[in-house]
Structure 1
Amino acid sequence: MNNQATIKVVMGSKPLSDGKYLVYIRITKNRKKKEISLSLKGSKEHFIGEQFTKPHPNLKIENELILKLKQKALSVIRNFQLNDEDFTLDEFERKFRGIPEFNQNFFDFINEIITELEQSNRLGNARAYKEVKDSLQKFVHHSFGSKIFMFKDLTPELLEKYEVYLRSKGNAVGGIAFKMREIRAVFNKAIDRKIVSQENYPFKFYKVSKLKATPNKRALTVDDFKKIKNVDLSATPSLLEAYHYFMFSFYTRGMNFVDMMLLKKSDIINGRIVYTRAKTKGRFNIEIVEVAQEIIDYYKDKTLNSSYVFPILLSDNLTPQQIEHRKHKVLSRVNKKLGDIAKLAGVDVHITSYVARHSFATILKKTGTSTDIISELMGHSNVQITMTYLKEFENEELDNANRTLLDL
């Protein structure tokens, strides 16, 4: 039996988006290592000998916390040794975190995941998990009152009841499937961290794959796009913001909202936009057509003190949390206004900012552009991705072909 291990406080090797590094407890046993985040971060040059150094903020408090957590880690190992117990690195982590074996509070664990995502500046993912957590908590409270909700309570039967609850609240099938996938991801993380047993896995019996939504129409026809383009907003100037962002996206190969938000004046070079897409890291070099240039010019006076093209981010010095907040706030406002624009234009389609990207692809296809060219324009890694954008168009063409049989 080998229950000997060493503990060291170390700084991670991968920087966060703000240039700081996370601090970890590292346990080494049988030449294997495991690092557990202490939820502290700092600069490389201000961390020496397992301690923060000046001018690190909150120096005394955080160094005391590091010392306390290291002593806790050593105490966990000492208890294993006193009981003459061998242990795995996962078992050490469970003891160090104070997690009861196979009896973890589900909401406590998901809060832990949310905190880790926020510390890594993966704020969109953190928001998604929080929305699912809030929804499930409402269901649990509605069904069981103030009951403490453990992993063992997350049974296939409960998931079935949760699905019924979501349907009763008007949730679409796609939204229900998304929530179930997020819950499944949390359960998988708990299994990976040896917090719960694979035997308790409810998704062996409750299949998320059964939740198949009928895809909504996500692209405008040529006629509907013309109605949106030519809509009269003279009496409703408050809708111009949403109109401009939609049109700019359409005329820049379906640029998505995040890339528009992050677009800088320095990305405009000799009448072209040169930028890297945030989602795929694909590089784009786009000609600025007249319609797009007019929209850029419209916002010049509104962004004099900013490096950004559009007044979505109001400062160059926002934190990742502030950027995420602005994205969520402005995008929600824009999507609501796009619905108002559709009504004014007499278009009976649910329009969001993303419809511009789908419409760009579909309308190009209708005008005779090859799928390969559309795929290249949109920066897709393969043509199959483009085909999902054009699926409705293909179905329409097949239906038309089928109707020709009526003329026989």
Structure 2
Amino acid sequence: MKKEEDFVAGLLVYIACLRAQKKYSTAKSYQDALSSFKCFCGMEAVPYTYINRNRLSCYQSWLLDKGLSWNTVSTYMRRIRHIYNLAVESGDAPFVPHLFKDVFTGVESKRKKALPSDSLRSLMGSSGIDPGMRRTQLAFSLMFSFSGIAFVDFAHLKRENIKDGVLSYHRQKSGSLIQVEIPAEVRCLLDELAACTDKDSPYLFPFLSGKQTGEAAYKEYNRALNRFNCDLMLLAEACGVNEPVTSYTIRHSFATSLREQDVPIEVISELLGHKSIKTTQIYLKSFSLERLSAVNRACFASVCKPVSKVG
């Protein structure tokens, strides 16, 4: 089997190209898919002809048996599909109609990602927490007040991103320009967190050193994200919040809070920096049970008046 006809070799070449383009996060995603698929196949070299509908279906079952989520399954399948399609275009793999028809390549929308308002208030307003958790609480509050800013953008903010009380930055993920006026009531929180930052750091907040470049900088960011998510779990426990809390939860909670205040989805989408409203719709797949119940009761009450029993 020639090297160029091997799926593993083709994927490794693609990963190398991603790293050369400094797309380290995407490269890691493809590497994870490759490692998983090689483990399933039990082979170091996987011919393109080895990949068929039945084998992909078995691979999906194998992933689910290992406890992976449907979204992880979808990510791995889409990575494999992309490399296979590139090989078909170059003539290194045979075209097989509906090859990925039997496996999941969509997005599973989980109903409960946003936090209820009382949990948000506890996380941002609890005063009896350990001083060591104060930095995490400050970051949580600021990320929510900065229109649900993603942690990757928050951690990379610089002093020059704030001018005349307005925060301006380009999203790392999409490049979209985000501008938001910083609420007066959180400026003191901003100053408190910024005071924790090393004076030699180019960043506004104390999460990244600014001393790393290339893939080393990407790895430093991942370590910072993991630490922040661990700290959020500790903060939630200290505040008596039972729901799971991650950096992603903040973004979803911000979007859902606006949705339940009847803010138009176009406005929410622009605040989040989404390039497509379809992405925002995935965030806002459903209202909370409380909101749905209230609307349902109001609708019933508006059209039906229960008849009282006589006698």
Q: TM-score range by the shorter chain?
A: 0.7 to 0.9
Distance 1:250 1:223, change over 3 A: same
Match of 1:26 in 2: none
RMSD of Structure 2 on Structure 1 (CA)? 2.7
**CA contact 1:156–1:206 (8 Å) conserved in 2:** yes
Q: Which has more strand, going by share of residues? A: 1
Structure 1 unmatched runs, 5+: 1-98
| From 137, 141, 145, the counterpart of 1:243 | 137
CA distance in 2, matches of 1:338, 1:132: 28
CA distance in 1, matches of 2:26, 2:72: 15
Structure 2 unmatched runs, 5+: 307-311
Match of 2:99 in 1: 203
Higher RCO (C-alpha under 8 Å, 6+ residues apart): 2
- Cα displacement string for residues 178-203 of structure 1 (whole angstroms, at most 9, x for unaligned residues): 1111111111122222221214x672
Q: How does 1:184-223 map to 2 (within 5 A)?
A: 184-199=81-96, 203-209=99-105, 213-223=108-118
CA distance in 2, matches of 1:162, 1:259: 35
Distance 1:292 1:251, change over 3 A: farther
CA distance in 2, matches of 1:233, 1:109: 55
Q: Residue 139 of structure 1: CA displacement?
A: 1.8
Match of 1:162 in 2: 59
Match of 2:286 in 1: 392
Alignment of 1:107 with 2:8, yes or no, is yes
**CA contact 1:249–1:356 (8 Å) conserved in 2:** yes
Distance 1:308 1:116, change over 3 A: same
Distance 1:190 1:241, change over 3 A: farther
Match of 2:23 in 1: 122
CA distance in 2, matches of 1:278, 1:212: 22
| From 232, 237, 241, the counterpart of 1:338 | 232
- % identity of equivalent residues: 26
Q: How does 1:7-406 map to 2 (within 5 A)?
A: 100=2, 104-141=5-42, 146=43, 148-199=45-96, 203-209=99-105, 213-232=108-127, 234-235=129-130, 237=132, 239-289=133-183, 290-315=185-210, 317-381=211-275, 383-393=277-287, 397-403=291-297, 405=300
CA distance in 1, matches of 2:256, 2:76: 29
2:287 alignment partner, SS class: helix
TM-score for the superposition, normalised by structure 1: 0.66
CA distance in 2, matches of 1:332, 1:342: 16
1:321 alignment partner, SS class: helix
**CA contact 1:251–1:292 (8 Å) conserved in 2:** no
**CA contact 1:272–1:285 (8 Å) conserved in 2:** yes
Deviates more, 1:359-368 or 1:326-335: 359-368
CA distance in 2, matches of 1:322, 1:254: 27
1:311 alignment partner, SS class: coil
TM-score for the superposition, normalised by structure 2: 0.85
**CA contact 1:296–1:309 (8 Å) conserved in 2:** no
**Amino acid across the alignment from 1:114:** I
CA distance in 2, matches of 1:259, 1:312: 11
